[in-house]
Structure 1
Amino acid sequence: MKPDPKALLDRLTALESELAQLGNVTDSTTLGALKTLLQQQQATAARDPKTSAIALLDRFLALDHQDQPGFPPLAQYKQQVRQFRTQVENASETDLPADVNQLLTGKHPVSQLLKAIDEGDNLTDAQWSSLQSVLVKVFGQAVSIAASRGKLYVATRQPQPAATPAAATPKPASPNEDLLMWGDATEKAAQPSAEPSDDEPLIVFGAKSLGIENQPGGTVPLNVLVHIQGLGDRQFGAREFAGTRGQSKAIEGLQLSFASPVAGLNIEYMAHLAGVGDTPWMSAGQYLGTRNENRQLEGFAVRLVGAEASKYSVCYSAHVQNMGDTPVYADGQFCGSRGKSLRVEGLRVWVQPKA
């Protein structure tokens, strides 16, 4: 089969961006010289795990989206990676964090996301399926979808992490946080509260769990799609804040589904739409609302159905115009307002087993 010129050009462009980070590579560099340089880099990496780990972390920090510069779904993870980078940089060669080995052997989620970006086109269907299941559980739907569509790339100019004194440590986890963690901190992660705070990352990193087991507290992976006024459809995962704050942009539509089927369990949802009133209950995967009609969603409710529904709770909250963040509602309770012309600007939804 004749190679696709566009696909080859895209791969060459991505490769050029990565090679530029090696240094000493110019347009006149021959393939032989490039091979020698790469071999030298590989040998150096084998001797210097600290430098190699920092290089991997820098590549993660340089990730960006082709269509959405600054890609917000990655921002929270980059903050935690910056903190961990500082720990690695300040550690001695003989006392590196345990996660460094996981990074260098490709077992850590940071390495696996980079693998998806670097090798996605060359992976078999089975390899990609296995890798994507990890990305969904760790980074959520938005990042996973962007990686699978080839939208993420390593920018040529990497952002430099802010300098942090050697004695500085990341903010400790409060009992209500599901922090993205490293090393033994994974074992100390507390059980999730009813509602995560706005600034908390949504996954757990660590040498033992690698962040790829169940989501916090057994949260069931969800696909959460919202249509944001003026921005269009956006995809999120369980517990992720889906929408905006302070931008006067309404949620105009909603679609929920499980990322993977759960035996005996389904999800339904309804909403109160401006000028329409209460909608019927919709089943998983059905779009509820409008698009590009400036018809805002003012409230909503979510419930679980099926033989196993009694074993789970669906929890949700919203950010409502002039009201701010609502309390957490659950299992069919109405969240928001009716007839007050107050738009829902963002929401969170998650499903978790009952105690």
Structure 2
Amino acid sequence: MANEESYAEAKRRSDEAWDGIEKEPGAYTLLSGDRPTGRLHLGHYFGTVKERVRLQDMGVNTNILIADYQVITDRDTTEHIQDNAYNMVLDYLAVGIDPERSMIFTHSAVPALNQLMLPFLSLVSESELHRNPTVKAEQEASGHALTGLLLTYPVHQACDILFCKAQLVPVGRDQLPHIEQTRNIARRFNERYGRVFPMPVGLLSETPLLPGLDGRKMSKSYGNAIALSMTAEETAKLIKKSKTDSDRHITFDPENRPGVSALITTAATMTGRDPYEIADEIGDGGSGQLKKYVTQVVDDFMAPIRERRAEYAKDMGLVKEIIHEGNRKANAIANETLDEVREAMGMTY
């Protein structure tokens, strides 16, 4: 789904869904999630997590997946995975995810969800799996061999989305091929066996991508990401050592001055200010003054998140209970959906 015509259609469906949400949020179910490969950072927050909180607060039925099985699509170890999952829940709670209104669950604890892979794999061709541009990009970025799990990653995502009959999946433009694959699987299943699944929509946001502090994609592996779990001292140190350039006069020019512009973008995203206005305000103050300003902005933004996170971290029993309860609910939903699938396929014995 790379061409402009396809994107325009995806945008039309997204806009239509937003209109529906505004009118009757409780009629919609949402699925979103993250791989527990490390700590969540501000790129995750502004990219999708903030939107989840907003939709949850509007009254949309919200489901959040900790995609632990997807860690091994391109990694050879599950070391630290449990710790990462627990910390992910702390991050969710700190930014406003409410487990009373949002179901938080893990792949590995919901067998019926994963069992949907078998019938779903029969609905896609080998060439479709190889064609998915997101899979290619993720393989290249990881440098890992193409595993069977990575190749079928979009099908597994279809299981995530369709097991709870989610109509909404918040995505960036680059993830639209996954949504199209899921729509194909839902349509083919419904045509072949009878209508069981809705046709999900990629819910597009106008939020621009927040770059890392060096201008590249924000990523823990690049060392350019501000994690939600960082202390004020850690963020200050990270910002201080971020690379800028030798030109003392500050301007906003992402193409030619990626480091300087990434710092400005960070401040602009958190304050809602225009990046050019921030650059003009710093002017000849140089990178030192820019970094000082960005550090203050980050501290102001992160202070309430840090405070809430620290409170929740005092009770890890609560964190574990949230996952256990989410897994219990997810299993009940997945078992019911799998029963519907078996019945539609004539596999009830």
When normalised by structure 1's length, the TM-score is: 0.28
**Greater strand proportion:** 1
When normalised by structure 2's length, the TM-score is: 0.28
- Between 1 and 2, higher relative CO (CA 8 Å, sep ≥ 6) is seen in 2
**Greater helix proportion:** 2
